[in-house]
């Protein structure tokens, strides 16, 4: 049997959690919820009035019968984050489809 190590030291792998992404996601959820709670306690409303026109226009387009409430800061932040994530997902999906179509059409463009 072949000796694997020339030295007498044994390398121990560090202990890693099986799903580090879930731990980071859990910490992020706790931090965002604490920030939303803190924002709701502020006397000045900043995020809610900024989000209200955007949410009202989107609700008028997609859900005409829905009434849009003016949300406090923390609640508006919790509505704004998934809305931005949705817009980012739509943007990156559209950009990916456009690039794929252009890659397919590239050999045909320029030929006459």
Q: What is the pLDDT of residues 44-85, one digit of tens each?
A: 888 888 888 988 898 899 888 988 888 888 888 888 888 889
Please give the pLDDT value at position 97. 96
Stated as kind and residue range, the H or E segment containing 97 is helix 73-105
User: What pTM value is reported for the model?
Assistant: 0.59
Taken in order 51, 54, 56, 58, is the CA torsion positive or negative? negative
Please give the pLDDT value at position 41. 86
């Amino acid at each position: 049997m072949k000796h694997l190590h020339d030295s007498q030291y044994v390398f121990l792998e560090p202990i890693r959690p099986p799903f580090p992404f879930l731990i980071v996601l859990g910490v992020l959820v706790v931090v965002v919820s604490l920030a939303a709670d803190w924002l709701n306690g502020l006397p000045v409303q900043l995020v809610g009035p900024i989000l209200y026109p955007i949410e009202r226009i989107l609700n008028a387009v997609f859900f005409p019968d829905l009434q849009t409430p003016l949300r406090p800061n923390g609640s508006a932040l919790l509505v704004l984050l998934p809305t931005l994530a949705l817009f980012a997902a739509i943007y990156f999906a559209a950009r990916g489809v456009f690039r794929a179509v252009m890659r397919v059409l590239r050999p045909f463009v320029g030929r006459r």
